[in-house]
Amino acid sequence: MRETIEFQMNHIPEITITGKNIETGEGHSSKGNQLKWEQDGWWYKADAFGYESLAEVVVSGLLAQSNISEAVRYEPVAIRYQDKIYRGCRSRNFRAQGEELVTLERIARSCTGFGLAKQMAHIADVGERIGYMEELVRNVTGIEDFGIYLTKMLEIDAFFLNEDRHTNNIALLYDPAKREYRLCPFFDMGLSLFSDTREAYPFGKDFAACREAICAKPFSRDFDEQLDAANERYGCYLKFNFPANRICEVTSGLRRMCRTEESHGNARGEAAECGVQTGYTEEEFARVEEVLRYQAGKYGHLF
């Protein structure tokens, strides 16, 4: 495990963003839009609700030690933008030249004239909702294994408690020149591990209360209900290549690289010019590890 999740940097690099932030549009996130940029072959995004960048880095680091090969890898960065510094993360641009990222919500609206989320809301059974989405994607794009892809996504979301998997956050890659679709790597899992400390899961909130409050998407408000329905239809896939009791090793290298002694600063991850906080607090690391240990115990069959 140590070799592939060890972080090569010994500090958080600071990147100056020279372009404008990416406007993602209405409905892109269930909680609002982050500051996001594309520059020099990288995608960047700043923390908006808490420690989303830490969640992205930890989730992708652990998936690198699983049998899921399609996950985007993230690394922490300090982002300087318009004379302010933000905590954030970056990932390599996974689109081929000319490819577009197309959400399932957009695909559904272009083909049926109706939103996918609203269409599924009329279907009572969770398994049938999953089947409806799979059938829509297969009929429109010709992709035959989307059910397996979707199941892997729901397994990842259930384990890491990703609460942001709405229909604008599931996407395919489209090549307009070839008029072909392909599966997109798994990305954008920043609202995992109770990372929203600004609104939903402040540090004063009891861990059990956080677990009680969190809701899954897009097929059910219960992670296990939609996961069980997908596993029954398409099988089980996610496996970690290490024992469950080593789940927190991914954070040890991060602690050495980017633990800060300073207070949280403001809730959007923005740091003042004096006393800049570009790392993560011990309180943030402790919560991430608490969640990981609990989930490893609950889903022991994945190890």
Residue 98 dihedral angles phi and psi, to the nearest 5°: 85, -10
Report the distance separating Cα 194 and Cα 52, nearest Å: 9
* Short-list 147, 161, 302, CA closest to 238: 302
Does the pLDDT at position 63 exceed 70? Answer: yes
Check residue 262 and give its pLDDT. Answer: 55
Contacts of 131 (CB under 8 A, 6+ apart): 233
Report the distance separating Cα 28 and Cα 104, nearest Å: 11
Contacts of 209 (CB under 8 A, 6+ apart): none
Residue 263 · residue 276 · CB < 8 Å: no
Give me the mean pLDDT over the 147-161 stretch.
98
Does the pLDDT at position 247 exceed 80? Answer: yes
Give me the mean pLDDT over the 234-261 stretch.
90
Report the distance separating Cα 55 and Cα 60, nearest Å: 8
Contacts of 212 (CB under 8 A, 6+ apart): none
Report the distance separating Cα 229 and Cα 183, nearest Å: 21
- DSSP secondary structure code for residue 190 in this structure: -
Check residue 10 and give its pLDDT. Answer: 58
How does the average pLDDT of the chain come out, rounded? 89
Check residue 21 and give its pLDDT. Answer: 81
Give the confidence band of 303 by pLDDT, cuts at 50, 70, 90. very high
Q: What percent of the chain has pLDDT over 70?
A: 87
Does the pLDDT at position 191 exceed 70? Answer: yes
pLDDT tens readout for residues 77-126: 999 999 899 999 999 999 999 999 999 999 999 988 889 999 999 999 99
Q: What percent of the chain has pLDDT over 90?
A: 79
Check residue 88 and give its pLDDT. Answer: 96
Check residue 286 and give its pLDDT. Answer: 95
pLDDT tens readout for residues 31-61: 666 799 999 999 999 999 999 999 999 999 9
pLDDT tens readout for residues 11-33: 788 999 998 887 655 445 556 66
